[in-house]
Structure 1
Amino acid sequence: MYHARFNGTHYEIGKKWGLLLKKNGKQLVDTIPFEMTKEMYEFGQQCYPVYKEFFPEIIEEINGIADGQEIDPETLYAVLFSMYSLVRVTNCSSFIIKNEHSFLLGRNSDFLTAIEKLYMNCLYTFKESDSYAFSGNTTAFVEMEDGVNQFGLAVALTSVFPDQLKPGMNVGMILRVLLEKCQTVTEALEWLKRLPRCSAGTLVMADSSGDACLVEFTNDKVAYSALDKEGFLCATNSFHLPEMVSRKITIEDDWFAEERYQTLEDYLTDHFREVGLSESKQLLAGEFGFLCQYDRKTGKDTVWSAIYDLNSKQVYRCEGNPARKTYQEDARFRIQ
């Protein structure tokens, strides 16, 4: 996993990174693990006005990357804006637990082993006063899949196979804008409801004040379950809230989504009152049921795992499958 520190305006950050990659002989377009299609380019163009209105800073960062790489930004729009919509990946598991002694958000990121050396942990600090500093983890540079910002808002996603598409923001870009623009779960929910969404997904969110919720959404509906006192919330790559069950889509290969969900649901139902950091690590490592036990020969694996401790304001990350590798505290990013 690469570790990157970004500081400056969005455009400056993008251009510096694009130039650095080019200087080291790396072209982003050569790392794309799927075929680029005309449909992706067209969808990127359709989504562009949404990002320009609701998150113009990300356009600036992407343009900076393109300038540094000396490539057409339209290619990056096509890749990034079609992620989780035309590029339909169904993976990852997440949970929140809250009890007398612990308040934790945990997540496994499951993806392709072929590009696991390209995955990144990013520390962002911006010159723009309305963008908050954050630490995030990603498989696709500017979009984020889990992270925490300077105010202690932590968010993690799972992707859900969509039953329909329309131009809008994908779940990875939505997560990033929430980290940049929101201090609390309440603010994040307000943003999510008004953002045009292109497909479907789930988010678990928690903040240092003690608020937490699970959100399941499509491009035309948002449902959520709040966690006010003790309890737990969990998500994989399907819908389980009563309002959203009718929107489930069955696919042939969902990376064992229901089996992973049942592992989380069964263990946390019985044990959430005593779960702490150690038990969370064991859960994510698959010690209480299937969660990360992929056959790497198939090209799939858990490629990182993260735990955000909202009580102690600490971040732990395992850079690889937690069944085989260990968690380390990341002390580089400080939560206020």
Structure 2
Amino acid sequence: MQQIYSDIIQFRGSHYELGQIQGNQLSDSLIMKNRRRQWQLRRPRFDINVQETKDIFQKYAPAIREELIGMQDSLKQPMEEILRDFGGYRIEAPRSGCSTFTGKDFLVRNYDYHPKTYEGRFHVFAPSDSGYAVIGPAQRITGRMDGMNEKGLAMGYNSIHRKKPGSGFVCHMIGRMMLENCATTQEAEDFLKEIPHRHSFSYIVLDSNGETSIIEATPRSVEVRKGNACTNHFEILKEENRHYLDESHKRLNAIHEQQNDADNIHQAFHLLNDINKGVFATDYKSWSGTIHTSGYLPKEKKVWFALGGDQEPTVFDFGEWLNGEDYDSNRIYGEVDTDLGFAHMK
């Protein structure tokens, strides 16, 4: 059993200023050392076109482009490297798992991945220039793997496959842009139908009115369906599914079989977080181990978050933070049953 942590990063200000601060935090960090070592061992299987990426960000998320410029100014790196490491456009995203479950007033999500990709950063950001304030764990620094915004829109995503990629944004950048720009489930659906997708993912959203939907998105098409549980396969775009789905169906069936006993946030959180309930995943070496469980309550503006399984969550009152009350803690701690290294820890 390994103790791990996530740093809590709180910031109110412009996207450019956030980029500068993140660059300063990362400049001599273990995250950046691991990133450099990664590119020394293997070359990226994608090309970065700076002008194309500038144009696409200018269309869909100009403020996040300012954040990337702030990171470049702070880290003193070529824009090609900033976009390669933090841009979230036309890059590769490794395979992963994940399970998501919604009720009338909560969204609970397990994030299943490989520890070496986990950077341990939980962001709370209120932009002063444009976009909604967002709370949630970060991926690749600038992306959000799940989260909730000030309007009460909550989001999580589940991987389907990486075959036949398109010229588009990857999941965590799409999640970030959705939360900063959409207030309702309907707006999120419309956004996902418009934006170009790099890979195939399901995006699960819940808003403060209790409206929830599952959006099946690929580089080729986007479909919306009603449902309250999702793992790693499509129900509509079945031709896009990977061949081996037994493990995905097993976790989905575990949710369905127990959901009648999980009609509040506490029960739902433990349905996903308790190791013996059949949803929590432990295959870390195969990129499918649960690292964190998140719970979002749009009406209450609260977030439940835990690292590892069989945990009691840390509860964040996002409403109070939006009113100017900073969180006292700088870190969230937990335990994960693996000896594999994490990207931000020695």
TM tier relative to shorter chain: 0.7 to 0.9
1:208 Cα deviation from its structure 2 partner: 0.7
Deviates further, 75-84 or 194-203: 75-84
The answer to whether the aligner puts 1:104 opposite 2:106 as a matched pair is yes
1:138 & 1:112 partners in 2: Cα distance? Answer: 15
Identify the match of residue 245 of structure 1 among 219, 238, 244.
Answer: 238
8 A contact 2:169–2:197 mirrored in 1: yes
Question: Which stretches of structure 1, 4 residues or longer, exceed 6 Å deviation after superposition?
Answer: none
1:111 Cα deviation from its structure 2 partner: 1.9
Residues 258-304 of structure 1: per-residue CA shift (max 9 Å, x gap): 32222223323xx16x6212211221124664222415576763211
The answer to whether the aligner puts 1:234 opposite 2:229 as a matched pair is yes
The answer to whether the aligner puts 1:326 opposite 2:282 as a matched pair is no
Q: How many residues align?
A: 314
1:209 & 1:303 partners in 2: Cα distance? Answer: 29
1:200 & 1:105 partners in 2: Cα distance? Answer: 21
2:252 & 2:284 partners in 1: Cα distance? Answer: 21
User: Which structure carries more relative contact order (alpha carbon 8 Å, separation 6+)?
Assistant: 2
> 2:101: which partner in 1?
95
2:87 & 2:232 partners in 1: Cα distance? Answer: 20
Query: CA distance change for structure 1 residues 160 and 44 in 2, over 3 Å: closer, same or farther?
Result: farther
Relative to the length of structure 1, the TM-score reads 0.83
2:31 & 2:304 partners in 1: Cα distance? Answer: 28
Query: CA distance change for structure 1 residues 185 and 296 in 2, over 3 Å: closer, same or farther?
Result: closer
2:163 & 2:239 partners in 1: Cα distance? Answer: 11
Residues 168-218 of structure 1: per-residue CA shift (max 9 Å, x gap): 112211111111111111111111111122221111111112211111110
Identify the match of residue 316 of structure 1 among 304, 309, 313.
Answer: 304
1:3 Cα deviation from its structure 2 partner: 0.6
SS at match of 2:17: helix
8 A contact 2:90–2:168 mirrored in 1: no
Relative to the length of structure 2, the TM-score reads 0.81
1:80 Cα deviation from its structure 2 partner: 3.9
The answer to whether the aligner puts 1:126 opposite 2:127 as a matched pair is yes
> 1:15: which partner in 2?
20
1:38 Cα deviation from its structure 2 partner: 4.3
> 1:3: which partner in 2?
8
1:204 & 1:163 partners in 2: Cα distance? Answer: 21
1:246 Cα deviation from its structure 2 partner: 1.6
The answer to whether the aligner puts 1:157 opposite 2:142 as a matched pair is no
SS at match of 2:169: coil
Residues 209-254 of structure 1: per-residue CA shift (max 9 Å, x gap): 221111111012111123xxxxx511122212xx311211226xx8
Q: Aligned-pair RMSD on alpha carbons?
A: 2.7
Unaligned runs of 5+ in 2: 1-5, 324-346
SS at match of 2:232: coil
1:49 Cα deviation from its structure 2 partner: 3.4
SS at match of 2:252: helix
Q: How does 1:1-336 map to 2 (within 5 A)?
A: 1-22=6-27, 25-26=28-29, 28-32=31-35, 34-35=38-39, 37-42=43-48, 47-81=53-87, 86-98=92-104, 103-114=105-116, 116=118, 118-128=119-129, 130-226=130-226, 233-240=228-235, 243-250=236-243, 256-268=247-259, 271=260, 275-286=263-274, 289-295=277-283, 301-318=289-306, 320-323=307-310, 325-334=311-320
2:89 & 2:175 partners in 1: Cα distance? Answer: 13
Identity of aligned residues (%): 21
